[in-house]
Amino acid sequence: MNKKQAFLNGLRDGIPIGLGYYAVAFSLGIIARKAGLNAIEGFFNSLLARASAGEYAGLTMILTHATIVETFLVSFITNARYMLMTTALSQRFSTDTSVFKRIAVAFCMTDEIFGATIARPGYVIPQYTYGLTAIAAPLWGLGTASGIIAGGIMPARAVSALSVALYGMFIAIIIPPARRERPVLICVIVSFLLSYLCSDSCALPIPYVQEISTGTRTIILTVLISAVAALVAPVKEEDPEDA
Amino acid sequence: MHKYIYMLIVIVTIALIRVLPVTLIRKKIDNRFIRSFLYYVPYVTLAVMTFPAIMEATESPVAGAVALVCGIVAAWLGLGLFPVSIICCLVVFVLEFIL
């Protein structure tokens, strides 16, 4: 397939992804507004970051006046999955793909764009991924900007309803693997439980835990639960795909 | 700290996370513990951030809790990101109207 055709295919496949992004980014915009971002700042922040959980975590850091170290660690933890994705991606480039193109494609990765890129058989065609991003990323930014603008004029009830869209997306990411794999299911249940026990909503607060910031609690719980899961249920050795 | 500093840290960290593996890691990660740990991290962190935060995001905590349950059921039945998000929003909208 030639490069132009690949780019056009990317644009086409990017439309449904972008529309979904627009809707979900809207709820991110509501939070961005609370964090004090205006529409233009929100647009560029989303355009450059393109990460739902990661941006949400970053905005929470602004709201809670987190430290630089906390912000870095939370960004790292909430986006660590991209490291897994681009590690997998690195195995799918043809040997003549330049370093510049590898970097550009890796920079485009989101859950959905990774999914669409990797779903195509054979080597990764960079232009296809560029096409996906060219349509989906601006819509992600526009959705955020719209949320910032409309969040202020919408009735509180509508804002309340839209603010769960992001959590809906998180749920849709974690549940399918939890259904397929017992260890992931147990991880999710344990995460919900411990997260609740450590939260401010908990009826029986654990001493000292409430003094730790939300971001740090997220890091500690993630590292703890994932490490225990990795020890108790290590993943199977991968398919013999490396030559 | 100014909001731009936070935004910059987040944007640069995410960019490095995305780009470093394709430039640095040319080989596969062999350590089974690290691979397993990295495998579980995304799911655990999203789960930790979802609950109980979803109950604190809505005007009525009950509506948030019901949205969580409905979202889980919808995702369990195989619906994608967009439909699951919409279902969660509708549940909160309707419940907060009734409650």
Interval A214-226: pLDDT, tens: 767 887 898 899 9
Residue B88: domain span = 3-98
B37: chain A residues, CB-CB within 8 Å? 226-227, 229-230
Count CB atoms within 10 A of the CB of residue A197.
16
Q: Which of residues 42-71 of A touch B (CB under 8 A)?
A: 45, 48-51, 53-58, 61-62, 65-68, 71
- Cα separation, A114 vs A98, whole angstroms: 19
Would you say the C-alpha torsion A40, A128, B9, B35 has a positive or negative sign?
positive
Q: Which of residues 3-62 of B touch A (CB under 8 A)?
A: 3, 5-7, 9-11, 13-15, 17-23, 25-26, 28-29, 32-33, 35-61
Q: How far is CA A65 from CA A69, A118, B2, B86, in A?
A: 12, 38, 9, 31
Radius of gyration of chain B (CA): 19
Q: How does DSSP assign A149-170, residue by residue?
A: HHTTTS-HHHHHHHTTHHHHHH
Q: Could you give the percent of chain A with pLDDT greater than 70?
A: 96
* pLDDT tens-digit series, residues B60-90: 999 999 999 999 999 999 998 778 888 999 9
If we measure between CA atoms, which residue out of B62, B59, B60, B54 comes closest to residue B84?
B54
- Cα separation, B91 vs A158, whole angstroms: 11
pLDDT score for B4: 93
Instruction: Tell if the CB–CB gap between A167 and B53 is shorter than 8 Å.
Output: yes
Residue A133 per-residue DSSP state: H
Q: Which of residues 90-129 of A touch B (CB under 8 A)?
A: 90-91, 93, 99, 102-103, 105-107, 109, 112
A206/B contact by beta carbon, under 8 A = no
- Cα separation, A57 vs B7, whole angstroms: 11
- Nearest-CA residue of chain B relative to A217? B48
* N-to-C CA span, chain B: 40
Length of chain B: 99
Average pLDDT over residues A79-96: 82
Best mutation site among A167, A186, A190, A226 for testing chain B: the one with the most B CBs within 10 Å?
A167
Nearest by CB to A77, from B3, B45, B50: name it: B45
pLDDT band at A240 (very low <50, low <70, confident <90, very high): very low
Instruction: Tell if the CB–CB gap between A84 and B39 is shorter than 8 Å.
Output: yes
Q: How does DSSP assign B13-57, residue by residue?
A: HHHHHHHHHHHH--SPP--HHHHHHHHHHHHHHHHHHHTTHHHHH
- Cα separation, B80 vs B71, whole angstroms: 10
pLDDT score for A215: 67
* pLDDT tens-digit series, residues A142-187: 999 999 999 878 787 887 887 788 788 889 888 999 999 999 999 9
pLDDT score for A67: 92
pLDDT band at B46 (very low <50, low <70, confident <90, very high): confident
Q: How far is CA A28 from CA A37, A163, A215, B83, in A?
A: 11, 8, 17, 17
Domain count, chain B: 1
| Structure-block tokens of residue A151 | 């969040």
Whether the per-residue pLDDT at B27 is higher than 70: the answer is no
Average pLDDT over residues A195-209: 82
Whether the per-residue pLDDT at A241 is higher than 50: the answer is no
A234/B contact by beta carbon, under 8 A = yes
- Nearest-CA residue of chain A relative to B10? A75
pLDDT score for A55: 93
Task: Tell me the domain boundaries of chain A.
Answer: 3-162, 181-232
**DSSP alpha helices (H): ranges in A181-213?**
182-197
pLDDT score for B26: 65
pLDDT score for A62: 93
| Structure-block tokens of residue A62 | 């602004």
- Report ipTM for this prediction: 0.88
Residue A96 per-residue DSSP state: T
Query: Which residues, 6+ apart, have CB-to-CB distance to A160 below 8 Å?
Result: B57, B58, B59, B60, B63, B92, B93, B96
A241/B contact by beta carbon, under 8 A = no
Residue with tokens 């232009």: A127
* pLDDT tens-digit series, residues A36-87: 999 999 999 999 999 988 899 999 999 999 999 999 998 998 888 788 778 8
pLDDT band at A101 (very low <50, low <70, confident <90, very high): very high
Instruction: Tell if the CB–CB gap between B14 and A226 is shorter than 8 Å.
Output: no
| Identity at B18, one-letter amino acid code | R
